[in-house]
Every structure is written in structure tokens, then in C-alpha cells.
Structure 1
Amino acid sequence: LGLATVDTPVGIALKVDERREKYFVPYHAALQAEIDRLRALHQKIVVYDCHSIRSVLPRLFEGTLPVFNLGTNDGKSADPALQAMVDEILAGTGETYVVNGRFKGGWITRNFGRPQNNVHALQMELSNRGYMREPEGKGTPDNWPVPYDPAFA
């Protein structure tokens, strides 16, 4: 039905309200305070929200994700000139990338990016294979997390 579950796979309640108040609210309040602090010091600031994700997640999407997945909420969370600069940098890496593809920007990008107020927010979903030797197939305790590999560091 498209609804989020409120239980774990073993039937334990997620305690959504408790977790929201304990983690989500204070984290985002601290982020807003830091944005306000930096904005008082600088004419423009950039919030860079970066996540790591498995390169292949069949339950979420078909195929393999590009290495770099940049989101600006379809240009609403960052100045188009900033998006173009990052696009140019990504193009120069030689790695696969997409802008505003599957990941257009999550809660932080959509709620903190205010280019009209000189607060620009970018989200980057970085596929694991861009910086580590990613195990094939499903992650299990036997193959995840992978050992440190200096060739990928």
C-alpha cells in the first residue's frame, strides 16, 4: 500500500515518536543552529548532505546506481550556477553520475536549502563502489562491512 512499517521484521515496535524526539528533532535543530551561525559570518553557505548507498539494491531500483548521485530538489535547493559547477566537477571524474535522478534530495536538502536566502543545499548519494570494494549480492555478517582496502581509500 506504500505505507511505512512501524515494526521491525521480528515484530518489535520502532517507537517512531520516541526516536523522532530523541534523534531527529535535536539533530535538525543543531543543523539549523549551525546554518544560522555560519550565515551570520558568511554571505553564502552550502549544506552538503552526503550519504553512502549500496550500488545495487533490487528492492529499490533496477540496475546499478551511478557512482555519484547529486540532488538539488530539481534546482530548488541550490543556485543553478552551483549545481552547474558541481555537475562539471562530476563530469571530470570519469565516474558515472546523475543530477536529480533517483535521488533529488531528501529532507535536509528540501527543508534547509533556501537559495533565495543564500543557503544552498546539495545531497550526494555516493555508491559504495566509488570508494570501497563492495561485496556482491546481499550484505551479510560474513561479508559486511568489508575490510579496509587501501587501494580504495
Structure 2
Amino acid sequence: MLSSTICTVVSVAGLGIAALTAYRKRFLAATRIAAVSLVPVGLAMTGVIDWLTGVVFKPVVWAGFGVLALSVVLFMIARMAERHSLKAGGSRKERRAAARQQGPAAVAPKASAPSLGAGTRSPQPAAQAKGRSGAPEEDFSDIEAILKKHGI
């Protein structure tokens, strides 16, 4: 009840200031002041003021805010400790988990290396040369002919 009375008094004072501002021919400013001065009465009429005073003056609510703040602080401490342990190397289990998160290694790491140029070939190892016949070179000869035809 007291909060509603205070809100009404604040609104009436604001409307009085708006009337004085309008008397000075500053109608735009008077309209803004009137709009702002009606907010406390509107909040009191909707019950928001009673809800806010109930929240502010209840110790259980403040204890709940304290518990929420404590949980946020503990979460932040755990994150900082996790980052510190990963920087320091951590345990073997943590390192394996970090390696799994990084993803698999590249399948062909030299695949993105630039080509050697036209007409040069990299030497094949002896084991690969003995194990295969000349078929792959014949397959590539058609492709090379097409590339040479287009000037590539």
C-alpha cells in the first residue's frame, strides 16, 4: 500500500513538471516528461512494484542469488583449472582426449604441395616399381595427351 502511494506521488509531481514545461511552450519535452511520469503509476497498478518489494525484502531470495553466484564462480574456476592443466600437459588420459578433439591426421599431407612442373616425374621407390606393372603409366598417358593438347 505504501509503495502505491509513493508511486502516485512521484507521478503527480512528474505531471506537474510536465505542465510547467508545456506552459513554457516546450511541448515536445512536456510530452516526454508526462510519459515518464506515468510509468510509476502503471507499475503500481500492474503489481510489479509489489513483486519487486517482495523480492528485495525476502532473505531467501538473496540466499538464492548467493547460491547462483557461487555456482558461476565455481564453474569459472573449473574452466581456468582445465585450461591450465591442458597447457601444462595434463594427464595421459587428458592428452588422449585432447588429441581426439583435434581430429584425425591428414591422410595425404603432401597432396597440397605444388606440382613439379610439366614433364618431370618424381622417382618411384623400387618396391612400388617391382610390385606393379606398367598399367598406371598407360592410364595417365591418355590424360597427359589431353593436357598437352590444351597446352597445360
- Range of TM-score over shorter length: under 0.3
TM-score normalised by structure 2 residue count:
0.18
**Greater fraction of residues in strand:** 1
**Relative contact order (C-alpha < 8 Å, sep 6+): which is higher?**
1
Structure with higher Rg: it is: 2
TM-score normalised by structure 1 residue count:
0.18
**Greater fraction of residues in helix:** 2
